[in-house]
Amino acid sequence: MKKDIHPKGYRLVVFKDMSNGESFLSRSTAVTRETIKWEDGNEYPLVKLEISNTSHPFFTGQKMLVDTAGRIDKFKKRYEKK
């Protein structure tokens, strides 16, 4: 492997899935301004996720209903000729 291509400064970070509230602790270099108190009593940087393996349909086996009609209407309204 090539030397010095990986980032330096890994630290423990809490990742929180905002769609279902699940959180997990992992090492990362992600930059964040928020912190959260973890189960062990320590405070860690917090990275908020829109989706993770705990809420993604591929991993959960459940289908999610997406409001495509509302998105299409919003798109048409925004770009219709005036």
* pLDDT, tens digit, 9 for 90 and up, residues 8-42: 889 999 999 887 888 999 999 999 999 999 999 99
pLDDT at 59 over 60: no
| Mean of the per-residue pLDDT values of the chain | 81
Q: Please report the pLDDT score of residue 13 as a whole number.
A: 95
Whether the predicted model's global pTM rises above the 0.85 cut? no
Q: Please report the pLDDT score of residue 74 as a whole number.
A: 79
Instruction: Write down the domain spans for the chain.
Output: 11-79
Q: Of all residues in the chain, what percent are helix, strand and coil, respectively (each to 5)? A: 20, 30, 50
